Amino acid sequence: ESISFQKTYEKYMRDIIPTLPKERGWWFETIVQFNGFWLSPTNSFKGAIFLHHHFRPRPTDIFACTSMKTGTTWLKALIFATINRTNFEFSNHPLLTTGPHGLFPFLDTYIFRNGDDDCQDSISSLDTLPSPRLFTTHLPYSSLPDSVTASSSGCRFVCLCRNPKDVLVSMWLVLKKSRSKELPSFSLDDAFESFCRGVFQYGPYWDHVLEYWKESLESPNKILFLKYEDLKNEPLVYVKRLADFLGKPFSAEEETNGVVEEIIRLCSFENLSNLEVNKDGMEKFSPEIIVNKSSFFRKGQVGDWKNYLTEEMAKCIDQISDDKLYGSGLTF
């Protein structure tokens, strides 16, 4: 299977990638546009090919679907803690010793995270994970294979979005620290210009969000659509909604015993960002994506863009949001 994955990928690299529009990448040297979205040929694009050709969904699979910097780390922690709340004590919880990213696979790079020679083991290991399997992906909804998105698959998706101004600033600040020093410098002006044109990892950002939003309206039992800002403002409401959606509603007894509050506290920015496991060391997503664990925790606030973007930049992004989201019922 691994051999056939590598063959499929080589064929794409040879026949498809050279024909695609190319742009300077944020994280990588180049990104290519495939079916309307900007992907890294050696990472996200490769991941999408793997999913299409080799991923076997189970009806119990749960996917956390986000754009980069919308709060993926937080969502992972919340899903894991909610699903597994009867399996662990809060005082002796895996989240305290394993960072959120170590708890369940990031599908886009999972099978080649240790290099192409390890693909076979990684593909097999996906099949041995206990149900319900939890996954994350940044891929747009339309890039997921039909076998996963079809209603008949039974798979469920939790999408978390965030105000694009905070996404842009959060991403640019991470890149300032993590981007390879061999790549040319990438100023905030460069990032802003690129973001507004839609040239963003897995972007255009607005199109990515809209796909999940529209699908969530059509199939609310299949996709739960959440906003970072809502989670921040009313965590109790949205964590309960998350539990309902995941088919594990909180019992009256759990609510009385403060289990929802415990989960919120365990997964809070303050708690997670102060744990040794999230402060030290590196998280390796692929041979090319190795980042400081601490880079997933910066400020964790709503509206920090005000400290970086000019009024003019903010207006420009708001205008794009108005235009792109017009008539959709979604606002930032």
Residue ranges of the alpha helices (H) in the chain? 2-15, 44-54, 72-83, 94-97, 100-103, 107-110, 119-128, 146-149, 164-178, 188-196, 205-218, 228-233, 235-245, 252-256, 259-266, 269-273, 276-279, 311-325
Residue 154-193 contact track with ligand A3P, rule CB under 6 A, x = bound: ------------x---x-----------------------
> How distant, in Å, are the alpha carbons of 5, 74, 229, 233, 301 from that of 304?
42, 17, 12, 15, 6
Determine, following the binding rule CB under 6 A, whether residue 72 of this chain makes contact with ligand A3P.
yes
54 among known catalytic residues? no
- 122 sits near ligand A3P (criterion: CB under 6 A): no
Least Å distance, CB 7 to ligand A3P, is: 33
Residue 278 binds ligand A3P (CB under 6 A):
no
Give the residue, chosen from 24, 222, 279, 298, that forms a contact with ligand A3P under the rule CB under 6 A.
298
Report the residue number, 119 or 264, with the smaller CB distance to ligand A3P. Answer: 264
Stretch that binds ligand A3P, among 61-69, 240-248, 308-316, 321-329 (CB under 6 A): 61-69
Contact 178, 285 (CB under 8 A): no
Applying CB under 6 A, which of residues 73, 109, 194, 201 lies at the interface with ligand A3P?
73
In the complex, minimum distance from the CB of residue 222 to ligand A3P, in angstroms, rounded to a whole number: 22
- The number of residues that bind ligand A3P (CB under 6 A) is 20
Active-site residue (options: 93, 101, 138, 208): 138
Counting contacts by CB under 6 A, is residue 135 touching ligand A3P? no
Taking a C-beta distance cutoff of 8 angstroms, is the pair 83, 132 a contact?
A: yes
> Are 108 and 288 contacting, i.e. CB atoms less than 8 angstroms apart?
no
Residues 6 or more apart whose Cβ sits within 8 Å of residue 293: 99, 101, 277, 278, 279, 280, 281, 282, 283
Active site residues: 138
> Which residues make up the interface to ligand A3P (CB under 6 A)?
66, 68-74, 166, 170, 267-269, 272, 296-300, 304
